[in-house]
Amino acid sequence: MSGTSAVGSITVTLDGSDNSAKLPLIPGSIGPQVADIRKLYDNLGVFTYDPGFGNTASCESKITYIDGDHGLLLHRGYPIEQLAEKSSFLEVAYLLLRGELPNAKEKIEFELGVLRHNMVHEQLRSFYNGFRRDAHPMAVICGVVGAMSAFYPDSVDINNPEVRRISAFRLIAKLPTIAAWAYKYSIGQPFMYPRNDLGYAENFLYMMGAVPPEPYQHNEVLSQAMDRILILHADHEQNASTSTVRLAGSTGANPFACVAAGIASLWGPAHGGANEAVLKMLAEIGHVSNIKGFIEKVKDKNSNVRLMGFGHRVYKNYDPRAKIMEKTCHEVLDVLGIKGDPLLDLAMELENIALNDEYFVQRKLYPNVDFYSGIILKAMGFPTSMFTVLFAVARTVGWVSQWKEQVEDSSQRIGRPRQIYTGAKQRDYVPLSERG
Ligand code: CMC
């Protein structure tokens, strides 16, 4: 690890033998100490087993910190509540990528840098025609982002800081365009080109909602809400998709390929796909009177039904993003004049019942960021299939920041987990004629 020295150690002894290994304890700036097991196999001949990596740090990082017991989320030390209230998505992007908040000049330069890269290569348009119109937009953006490396062959030179800098700009700037075009393609409308007189979130809403024959109606409150939603999804430490990006990055793969891998990982309903799944779940429940029956199904271990938008690997108290999201949800519905939205009423009642149910209390299951985001996005006019795409647009900032940090960390090696092998022991090949 770069520059971190041990502050103690723990000793592990193999039962029934004198063999032991001293594992250095490495401190973080906050959070629990970490036992360094890198020499464990050399000293004791054993591996560790941690499916789901619940107890394993895969890297050292200075970007994001989560204290799941206290519902704390910090980006470069700044609480998410302060960033969501006072900052902007591009400022948070700068913070995540560069480590500090920008001064006025740096902020303008960064924003101009992003704007300058928001068009995609015109040849990339033709990729969309290769997809079925009813293709899921996550499938489309995964393919198109992966294809970007064919347009920027220089991106393979990942050890060049200028290549890393420009790749980050390209990804952050082009994702809204790529995402909005996936939507436009699915409904057969013309693609709208980005406009440099609009802010990042506003531009995304414009490319999603505008059509050439008529002027587009901007809504400042909705643009601000979208900006906040993007901030809330920007980064989240070593979650599944970020770890996927890092694992792909550990091989030296180019950033576009790594982010395409992250998009694929994000799509699953246990991760970013949950926002889409929440809305489907609410529609299935249909009415407050059906909540009780649904909760019984969730609690039945044979049903495989989960309360989507609830629970988190790290947060065991509450997800601070969910609180901000709920507040934003009320604001957006107010602005849109949606009074007594049945989905919101259903979601609030569902939350209320779950939070008071022994099953959820015991397991420390609380609403996560995805519980309310779908309701906001639906109210804004987003189709359900675009919810996870929006998450991907925002998380691209986290992915490129973590990818960059990894490439610049000299202690990083190719990611290559071990396993407990439980298959057949070595045996000799049996010719076909001798098999029973
Ligand atoms: N509904 C019902 N039971 C649940 C839920 C849920 N949403 N989440 C966890 N549990 C139960 C689980 O069955 C287990 O019970 P038991 O101990 O009796 O076997 C216990 O709680 C621990 O669950 P786990 O699966 O070991 O927890 P995990 O840390 O591996 O999973 C999770 C975390 C987010 C995948 C899970 O809570 C889940 O599937 N939630 C629903 C999907 C969701 O909302 N995902 C979005 C996460 S936040 C945004 C993001 O990361 O993208």
Alpha carbon distance 227, 207 (integer Å): 15
Q: Quick check: 118 pLDDT over 80?
A: yes
Q: Quick check: 102 pLDDT over 80?
A: yes
What pLDDT does 235 receive? 98
Tallying the residues shown for the chain, one arrives at 436
Closest CA to 182 of 392, 389, 394, 379: 389
Nearest CA to ligand 1 atom 9: 311
Nearest CA to ligand 1 atom 30: 313
Out of 313, 351, 369, mutate this one to test ligand 1's pocket (max ligand atoms within 8 Å of CB): namely 313
**CA 297 to ligand 1 centroid distance, Å:** 15
Query: What percent of the chain lies above the pLDDT cut of 70?
Result: 99
Out of 243, 363, 366, mutate this one to test ligand 1's pocket (max ligand atoms within 8 Å of CB): namely 363
In this predicted model, what pLDDT tens digit does every residue of 162-220 receive, in sequence order? 999 999 999 999 999 999 999 999 999 999 999 999 999 999 999 999 999 999 999 99
What pLDDT does 339 receive? 81
Nearest CA to ligand 1 atom 35: 270
Catalytic residues, which ones?
Answer: 312, 370
Nearest CA to ligand 1 atom 46: 271
- Protein residues whose CB sits closer than 6 Å to any atom of ligand 1: 52, 239, 270-272, 274, 298, 306-313, 363, 365, 368-370
177, 121 Cβ separation under 8 angstroms? no
In this predicted model, what pLDDT tens digit does every residue of 241-262 receive, in sequence order? 999 999 999 999 999 999 999 9
Alpha carbon distance 281, 353 (integer Å): 15
**CA 311 to ligand 1 centroid distance, Å:** 5
What b-and-e string marks burial along 263-276, b requiring 16 or more CB atoms within 10 Å of the CB? bbbbbebebbbbbb
Mean pLDDT of 288-303: 94
What pLDDT does 5 receive? 83
What pLDDT does 436 receive? 87
**CA 310 to ligand 1 centroid distance, Å:** 7
Chain centroid to CA 98: how far?
A: 19
Nearest CA to ligand 1 atom 19: 301
Alpha carbon distance 256, 254 (integer Å): 6
CB neighbours (10 Å) of residue 217?
9
Mean pLDDT of 122-146: 96
Alpha carbon distance 357, 361 (integer Å): 6
Instruction: Indicate the residue type of 353.
Output: I
Mean pLDDT of 331-348: 86
Mean pLDDT of 43-66: 96
Q: Which residues contact 6 (CB under 8 A, 6 or more apart)?
A: 24, 25, 26, 36
Alpha carbon distance 111, 95 (integer Å): 13
What pLDDT does 255 receive? 97
72, 320 Cβ separation under 8 angstroms? yes
**CA 279 to ligand 1 centroid distance, Å:** 17
What pLDDT does 343 receive? 86
Q: Quick check: 341 pLDDT over 90?
A: no
Mean pLDDT of 361-384: 91
Q: Quick check: 3 pLDDT over 60?
A: no
**CA 31 to ligand 1 centroid distance, Å:** 23
**CA 95 to ligand 1 centroid distance, Å:** 30
What pLDDT does 338 receive? 84
Q: Given the CA of residue 306, which atom of ligand 1 is nearest to it?
A: 1
Instruction: Indicate the residue type of 70.
Output: H
**Pairing between strand 8-13 and 64-67?**
unpaired
Which pair of tokens denotes residue 258?
């790594």
Q: Quick check: 2 pLDDT over 60?
A: no
Mean pLDDT of 97-120: 96
283: buried, middle or exposed (CB in 10 Å: 19+, 13-18, 0-12)? exposed
Nearest CA to ligand 1 atom 4: 306
Q: What mean pLDDT is reported for the chain?
A: 94
Q: Quick check: 1 pLDDT over 60?
A: no
Q: Quick check: 361 pLDDT over 90?
A: yes
